[in-house]
Amino acid sequence: MILDPSSSSAARFSDVFTALMVFAGAIVLLVLGLVVVYCTRYRAGSGADRSGRLVHVGKLEALAIGAMAVTFGALFVWAAKLYFDNATPPADARTIYIVARQWMWKVEHPGGRREINELHIPIGEPVRLVMISQDVIHSFFIPRFRLKQDVLPTRYTTLWFVAYEPGEFHLFCSQYCGADHSQMRGTVVAMEPAEFQRWLGPSPMVPAPVPGTPGTPQGGLAAGGRSVFFALGCNACHVPGASVRAPRLDGIWDRPIALRNGQTVTGDEQYIRESILDPNAKISAGYTPPSLMPTYRGTVTPEQITQLIEFIKSLRDGWPPGLSPVQHPSQTGEKP
């Protein structure tokens, strides 16, 4: 058995698994031991003493129930606390997008590098996977990391971990998804951080439309998202100074957004995706339904949505000056 913790999640698994093995092993030995001893000692025809049987049955049973309740309760609290404390990824985790479909894993790094059925990650750094499916439910399973999460077609699910050792590990689909389910496998390549940076490649910057303002990484998801933003006509409403009033996109990433119904949501992947596909689901404060925005369901691919998300992320500190309907990138030669 492999009990060496190869990742943060594997360490948690091993602790609880080992404790349960000790507990279960003790109970199995106790029960089987008693059965064997009793069946031998009290076999028909043996001269064993059969007098002095147990009385106080109720007290004995109550004791057993109490002991079990305490043991199970303690095991639960410990395991659940480990799970709960590690449910939220650290804020600085590296985000990687996973799109699952029958029968492959598509991986997108924010810098623009894409892979299929391979996932390269750096060790010693929290990695957060944001996953969605294009068809049925799949499940992203790295046995070596003792980690698994279903990948749904309806919304993003996430998974995070820190890999501790370099190496190549299995990636399996563990939720039955049709004919080639057992072929929906891949490899996770955990690398030293420097090597990982080399693998990611250089990320040259695209100069911003106006000189002197921050640009976006070339070929990165955010740059792709900017093209999608113009290609789909989002810029008609969602840029500063547009003729139609629309909720702002700058500064919403990872910040609270007030809704018309008084609730507050966080500007995260889930919210952005939902607002693109179902603009009426969450109406921002100050706007009245129905939303003027049409749904982009069926028009926009999962990859384009992740690009748009990365683009909106890049607007966290405000719009780069000059990005407005007047200066459409097509005028500067950039293909939508």
Partner 1 sequence: MTTLPAAVRQESYLAEGRTIRSWLLSVDHKRIAILYLVAITGLFVIGGFAAMLIRVHLLTPQGALVSKEEYNRLFTLHGTTMVWFFLIPSIPTVLGNFLLPLMVGARDLAFPRLNLASWYVFVAGGCVAMAAMFAGGVDTGWTFYTPYSTRFASPAVVLLLLGIFIAGFSSIFTGLNFIVTTHTMRVPGLTWLRLPLFVWSLYATSLVLVLATPVLAIVLVLLGVERLWGVGIFDPALGGDPVLFQHLFWFYSHPAVYIMILPGMGVVSEIIPCFARRPIFGYRFVAMSSLAIAVLSFLVWGHHMFVSGQSIYASMAFSILSFLVAVPSAIKVFNWTFTLRKGTIRLRTPMLYALGFVGLFTIGGLTGLFVASLPVDVHVHDTYFIIAHFHYIMVGGAVMAYLGGMHFWWPKISGRMYPEGWGVFSAVLMFIGFNLTFFPQFILGYEGMPRRYATYPAEFQVLNVLSTAGASILGVAYVAPLVYFLWSLRSPPTAAPNPWGARGLEWQTTSPPPPENFVAPPIVADTPYDYDHPAPEDPTHG
Least distance in angstroms from the C-beta of 325 to partner 1: 34
Sheet with 94-101, strands from edge to edge, namely: 114-116, 104-108, 94-101, 126-133, 157-162
Task: Determine the Cα–Cα distance for residues 325 and 197; give it in Å rounded to an integer.
Answer: 36
Question: What is the smallest separation between the CB atom of 141 and partner 1, expressed in angstroms?
Answer: 6
The torsion defined by the Cα of 307, 310, 316 and 317, in degrees rounded to 10, comes to -90
- Burial grade of 178 (CB within 10 A; 0-12, 13-18, 19 or more): exposed
Contact 174, 186 (CB under 8 A): no
Q: Is residue 299 within the footprint of partner 1 (CB under 8 A)?
A: no
The one among 93, 115, 126, 172 contacting partner 1 by CB under 8 A: 172
Instruction: Rule CB under 8 A: say whether 144 interacts with partner 1.
Output: yes
Residue 17 touching partner 1 (CB under 8 A): yes
- Our finding on whether 139 is near partner 1 (CB under 8 A) is yes
Query: Where in 24-43 is the site for partner 1 (CB under 8 A)?
Result: 24, 27-28, 31-32, 34-35, 38-39, 42-43
Q: CB 5 → partner 1: shortest distance, Å? A: 12
Which of the residues 59 through 78 are near partner 1 (CB under 8 A)? Answer: 60-61, 64-65, 68-69, 72-73, 75-76
Give 223's contacts (C-beta < 8 A, 6+ positions apart).
112, 206, 216, 217, 311
Question: Using the rule CB under 8 A, is 280 a contact of partner 1?
Answer: no
The vertex-262 CA angle with 233 and 281, nearest 5°, equals: 40
Q: Which is nearer to partner 1, 4 or 192 (CB)?
A: 4
254: alpha, beta or left? (left if phi > 0; alpha if psi -120 to 50): left
CB–CB of 199/128 below 8 Å?
no
Nearer to partner 1, 76 or 114 (CB): 76
* CB of residue 268 to partner 1, shortest distance in Å: 15
Please report, as residue ranges, which positions from 233 to 262 form the binding site for partner 1 (by CB under 8 A). Answer: none
* Position 176 contacts partner 1 (CB under 8 A): yes
Residue choice 80, 116, 210, 258 for contact with partner 1 (CB under 8 A): 80
Task: Determine, following the binding rule CB under 8 A, whether residue 136 of this chain makes contact with partner 1.
Answer: yes
Binding status of residue 56 toward partner 1 by CB under 8 A: no
53 contacts partner 1 (rule: CB under 8 A): yes
The residues, ordered by sequence, that sit 6+ positions from 236 with a Cβ below 8 Å of its Cβ are 242, 243, 244, 325
Residue nearer to partner 1 on the CB measure, 123 or 171? 171
| Burial (CB count within 10 angstroms: exposed 0-12, middle 13-18, buried 19+), residue 304 | buried
